[in-house]
Amino acid sequence: MNTESNSHSDSPQDRFVQSVLGMGAEWAAFGLQVGTQALERSAKSLELAAKALSTLSRSIEERAAAHEKVVDTQGEAVVEQDSQDPARL
């Protein structure tokens, strides 16, 4: 009968090691949850930024189209721009 292996598994050192391993696993799970939440927030922020840029791009394109007129003169297409400053587009 080998009683030494049974007494070894119940030793204070063994319980301490198991406790530390358990805490390490809990901290790892917590860290992964926090990382997941941070990435989800970043993704939402990037999505909002992309939508804002898309809206701005459309607005600039619409203003540019409103300020340019295509006129057909003697079979040639000529682009006339409004007299407004192009920087204000």
Q: 29-68: per-residue pLDDT in tens?
A: 999 999 999 999 999 999 999 999 999 999 999 888 877 7
Within a domain: 13: yes
Contact 81, 67 (CB under 8 A): yes
Per DSSP, the three-state class of 79 is strand
Per-residue pLDDT, 64: 84
Helix ranges, 1-89 (H) = 3-9, 12-67
Residue 8: pLDDT above 60? no
- The pTM (predicted TM-score) of the whole model is 0.51
| In a domain? residue 35 | yes
For the cut 60, the answer to whether the pLDDT of residue 20 exceeds it is yes
β-pair type (68-73, 76-81): antiparallel
Q: Say yes or no to pLDDT of 75 above 80.
A: no
Q: Is residue 23 part of a domain?
A: yes
Q: Give the domain extent around 34.
A: 8-63
Total number of domains constituting the chain: 1
* Sign of the dihedral through C-alpha 25, 28, 34, 35: negative
